[in-house]
Structure 1
Amino acid sequence: MIVAALLVAPLGAAVLNFGQLRPWQLGIALAVGLLSSAVPYSLEMEAMKRLSARVFSILLSAAPAIAAFAGFLVLGERLTWLQWGAMLCIMAASAGSALTAPVTPPPPILET
C-alpha cells in the first residue's frame, strides 16, 4: 500500500490545483483512503488470526453481495438478473470450495 501510494502521489500532485484546495478536502481524502483500503485490510488480517481458514473463506465469499448492497445503498446501482446470477455462482463456487477442501492440521509448534 505504501509503495502504491508513493507511485500514485506524484501523479495526483501533478494534476491537483493547490490554490483551490481546502483543509477539509484533505481530511475527506484521508478518510476515504483509510476506510477504503487500510482499515479493511487490517481487519482482514486480524480475522485471519482468529478464524479458521474455512470460516474466513466462507466469509470472504460473501464479499460480492456486500459490495452489491453497498453500491445499491450508496450509489443507487441496481444489478440485472444476469449479474445477480453470476454473482451467486461465484459465491457458491467460493463457499463450496472452502467447505469441501480437506482439513489439514496446523504444523506443530517447535519449542526451543
Structure 2
Amino acid sequence: MSFGDSIGLLAKSCGAEIVANCRGVNPDSTRLKECLSRNRDVLSQQCQSDYLGAFDAIQKRVAARVTVANACQREIVKVCGGSTKETSKSIPCLVSTPKGISNNCLKAVDDAGYR
C-alpha cells in the first residue's frame, strides 16, 4: 500500500474520529496512531478495522526508503554520480536508469514505492 493509499484509507475510515478526538495532535504517523489507540473505545468499527493496517503500511514504506541508501550505495555513486549522504537526489536516476542498477537496488526502490 502506498503512502497515498494509506493516508486515503485513514481519511476515509477515520477522518471524523481524527477531527473529533485527535485535534491538535501533530500529524506524524506515530502521534496520530497513539491518539487513535488511546481513543479506540470511541472509534467506528471501520476505523478500528483499518487504522492499524494503514499505519503498518506507512512504517513499511518509511523503513524501505531507509533501505534504499544501503542497497543502492554503489549505484548512487557510480551510476548516478550522487552522494550516499543525499540519497533523495539520486532517486530520479535510480528510477529512470535500470541499466547498471542491481536487482537488490531495484527491489529496494520498488519496496520504497519510488517506481
Give the TM-score category using the shorter length: 0.3 to 0.5
Please identify the structure whose Cα radius of gyration is greater.
1
TM-score, structure 1 normalization: 0.33
TM-score, structure 2 normalization: 0.32
